[in-house]
Structure 1
Amino acid sequence: MSAFGTVFMPEMAISWFDGSTWSEHEMVSSNSIQLHPGAHVLHYSSTCFEGLKAFRHQDGSIKIFRMDKNLARFAQSARLLDLPAIDQEATAQMITSSVAHFADEVPAPPGSMYIRPTHFGTEPAIGKAAVPSMTSVQYILLSPVGDYFAGGDTCLRVLVDEKGMRCAPHNGMIKSGGNYASALRPIMDARAKYKADQVLFCPGGDVQETGAANFLLIDGDEIITKDLDESFLHGVTRDSILTLARDMGLKVSERALTVEELMERAAKPGCEAALSGTAAVLTPVGTLIHNDKEFKVGSGAVGNTTVMLRKALNDIQWGNSEDKHGWLTDVTAK
Structure 2
Amino acid sequence: MAKLDRYLLSDFLQSFLATLTVLLVVSMGGVLVDILGRIADGRIPAGLMLSQLGLQFIVYLPIILPLALMLGLALSIARLYRDSEMAVLTGVGVGPKRLLKPILLLTVPVVALVAGCSLWLGPWADRNAERMLQEASRSMVVAGLEPGQFTPLAGGGIVYLSSLTGDGTKMGKVFMQRQKEGRIDVVSANSGAMFFEGERQRYLRLEDGYRVEGPESGTLDYRLMRYARNEVALPDREEVRDQNDPEMLTTGQLLVDDRPEAKAQLHWRITPPLLALAFALLTLPLARSAPRQQRYGRIMVAFLAYTVGVSLSILGRQWLAAGKLPVDAGMWWLTLPLLLLALWLYFRDGRLSRRRAGAKA
Calculate the TM-score normalised by the size of structure 2. 0.20
Between Structure 1 and Structure 2, the one with more strand by share is 1
Greater Rg over alpha carbons, structure: 2
Higher fraction of helix: 2
TM-score in terms of structure 1 length: 0.21
